[in-house]
Amino acid sequence: MKKYTYLLSVILVLISCKSNHRVVTSKSPPIKRTSKTQKTTKPVPTNSAKTTETASVESVSTSTTTNRIIRKALSFKVTKYKYGGISKSGMDCSGLMYASFKSANVELPRRSIDQSKKGVRVSQSKAQKGDLVFFKTGGKGRINHVGLVVSVNGRDVKFVHSSSSRGVMISSLKEGYWSNAFSQVRRVYSSSAANSSTSSPIVSPKGNSYVVKKGDTLYAIARKYTGVSASNIMNHNKLGSTSLSPGMVLKIPKRI
């Protein structure tokens, strides 16, 4: 009996020593370390730096005499056909050529048959922008239609002309009708006219004047005009020497 009493007292002591407080262990939430990411910004192009080029390739090319003539001819697109006309109120094929070349101070005859006698004849395979292309459409075996070459892409030669049915338009020598009616190509401006500002007139400019360009000499200018010599130009302009400066306007004397 004493033994049981002793055990009971030991058990009571142990129970009384046990803590009534719960130890709560909680895992602290992980600390998120946020690293600042550097933003990479792409440079935004600005318009502050303006291009200082004085002329683009196109502006240079369109400053040539040939392209000026072509540009004038294209400005008449969709103008109605009018026999004998030379304006936007109406024009025929030769009138279109006459008005276009006149804008560059180059005088052409008024009729297509007479225009076909100017300049030099070239083969169709060597056609260039600015050349005149002639046709025989009337069935009488003589030239009665003319167009102005505006582009050449291999064998595809396109020309602007005034058609009696559709007015001023662009056609191609690859088209059956124009291929069959084709007569000849003539050049009234040198082959360098499309790409160089030093183009040489085969038809004398209207007003018999010439604007000196860089590299020009009196002898080279004289060769552009039939029957005119360097001394003729010197005397006509009362020049004291043969030296020239770009931009100088020379009066070209009539054929001697």
CATH code, domain with 218: 3.10.350.10
**Rg (the chain; Cα; Å):** 44
- The reported pLDDT for the residue numbered 200 is 52
Cβ neighbours of residue 208 under 8 Å, at least 6 residues apart?
251, 252, 253, 254
Q: What are phi and psi of 162, to 5 degrees?
A: -110, 110
Same domain (yes/no): 97, 129: yes
Domain with 227, as residue range(s), is 209-251
Same domain (yes/no): 165, 225: no
- Nearest CA to 188 out of 130, 147, 149 is that of 130
Q: What are phi and psi of 214, to 5 degrees?
A: -60, 130
How many domains does the chain fold into? 2
User: For residue 4, what pLDDT band results from cuts at 50, 70 and 90?
Assistant: low
Report how many helices (DSSP H) and strands (DSSP E) the chain contains, helices first. 8, 10
Same domain (yes/no): 129, 228: no
Is 145 within a domain?
A: yes
Helix (H) or strand (E) holding 97: helix 93-102
pTM beyond 0.75: no
Same domain (yes/no): 173, 235: no
User: For residue 202, what pLDDT band results from cuts at 50, 70 and 90?
Assistant: low
Q: Which residues are catalytic?
A: 93, 145, 161
Same domain (yes/no): 181, 243: no
Maximum average pLDDT range among 13-17, 142-146, 196-200:
142-146
Q: What is the mean pLDDT of residues 195-215?
A: 60
Same domain (yes/no): 172, 214: no
Distance CA 80, CA 162 (A): 8
Same domain (yes/no): 107, 64: yes
Candidate from 62-71, 84-93, 132-141, 233-242 with smallest mean pLDDT: 62-71
Is 27 within a domain?
A: no
Same domain (yes/no): 236, 140: no
Distance CA 201, CA 187 (A): 10
pLDDT at 24 over 50: no
**Digit-coded pLDDT (tens) for 55-114:** 222 323 334 788 899 999 999 999 999 999 999 999 999 999 999 999 988 889 999 999
Is 42 within a domain?
A: no
pLDDT at 151 over 50: yes
Query: Which CATH number does the domain housing residue 138 bear?
Result: 3.90.1720.10
Is 32 within a domain?
A: no
Same domain (yes/no): 152, 226: no
Same domain (yes/no): 137, 226: no
User: For residue 251, what pLDDT band results from cuts at 50, 70 and 90?
Assistant: confident
Give the count of beta carbons closer than 10 Å to the beta carbon of residue 30. Answer: 6
Is 199 within a domain?
A: no
- The reported pLDDT for the residue numbered 3 is 59
- Nearest CA to 106 out of 88, 79, 132, 77 is that of 132
Is 91 within a domain?
A: yes
Same domain (yes/no): 178, 234: no
Same domain (yes/no): 190, 230: no
